[in-house]
Structure 1
């Protein structure tokens, strides 16, 4: 059964990879381990955005290293949205929760504060549009989606109910969002497969150079 996998990169990272030793993830190995043997994976679409180094200066370099490792997977395509980091004035919960906890509370307590707000734009929209387009063009017989983002409910519904095609939710969490779970033909938890589905420490890329797993990954 011809299968295309659609990966919500930021949702995968924040739901399953952040704070773990599994960020050097081989997406093809993961998909092959999670999906049944009769699924012939003909494409993997990875949706992300180039991140800012404002909070962590090493993050853009580490991400670029990972994208180079992913480039060795012949059936994988990276689709880039945009990533915005800006200062924004926001209303504070009252009373504010301070960090560290032993910080001296301000007097009087502020009602607003300027915070550093990061937003990823376009990835979920691109994923949803490409998923529906490919279904209606007959590019796959079965789709698999890695996400727990309920913004993607409508594209999933169109594939399953309107295009009448099977869809597997490859959930990055133990308890997926109920709205997504109801729309999926099958639900498979990817968490047990993250550890085994890692790239080797050093990966040779197309120009003959080698990229190494980033420190701390």
Structure 2
């Protein structure tokens, strides 16, 4: 069963990797492992990774954070992962003032904030998944993708999954939630409804077992694991 993965990089980082020593993740090998565990007949056909470029002025480590992301993206590309960029949009906004957890938010008590949003990623993933599904009828049976797997817990993807299930009922749809076992989170019901199966967690042992070497060969200079990772 030839399988294509679609990875929400923001969801993956903040849901699974942030605060761990496993950020230098060999994504293709991990996903091939997960596909095999879920169905031994599965083979990895492609991995598409969707992200947005770090804004150094807003990152914890400034320019170093941007350089770390760039190194990781180069390592991903060297392992045949297709990387797609959206963008971050920063604009002034208003939000209810936080007082404490016992006091609810009030529309009458707002403060000025800077609102940072990732743009285009969800739409790009949705269109990419639908296009892959639509093209399979024109591809020879031996090269045909039979399974699409979304790596994200974002329920904004629900309409895309619903459309794929309705329009291409022969296509298997899977979900991998980028969650660690120690964080108890409910599975998003709408994603579960429109998938054939759902992997709820990725273990620390799986992350540890699927890391890039410290130096990854590329067509140019090697991609080197950031020291603070």
TM-score range, shorter chain: 0.7 to 0.9
Instruction: Give the TM-score taking structure 1 as reference length.
Output: 0.86
Q: Distance in 2 between matches of 1:25 and 1:144?
A: 18
Deviation of residue 26 (structure 1)?
0.9
Equivalent of 1:43 in 22, 46, 55:
46
Structure 1: state its 5+ residue gaps.
Answer: 99-109
Question: Aligned residue for 2:191?
Answer: 180
**Aligned pair 1:214/2:220, yes or no?**
no
Deviation of residue 17 (structure 1)?
1.2
Question: Aligned residue for 1:106?
Answer: none
**Aligned pair 1:17/2:17, yes or no?**
yes
Equivalent of 1:52 in 52, 55, 59:
55
Q: Distance in 2 between matches of 1:123 and 1:130?
A: 10
Deviations 1:21-71 (A, max 9, x none): 121111101111101232121111111111211222022111111111111
Deviations 1:87-116 (A, max 9, x none): 4333313xx249xxxxxxxxxxx9433323
User: Are the equivalent residues in 2 in contact too, given 1:52–1:84 (CA < 8 A)?
Assistant: no
Equivalent of 1:120 in 113, 118, 124:
118
Question: Aligned residue for 1:129?
Answer: 127
Question: Aligned residue for 1:141?
Answer: 146
Deviations 1:112-160 (A, max 9, x none): 3332321100011000011011101115211111000000011112222
Equivalent of 2:173 in 167, 173, 185:
167
Helix, strand or coil: the match of 2:161?
Answer: helix
Runs of 4+ in 1 over 4 A off after TM superposition: none
Question: Aligned residue for 1:89?
Answer: 94
Deviation of residue 190 (structure 1)?
4.8
Structure 2: state its 5+ residue gaps.
Answer: 102-107, 137-143, 180-184
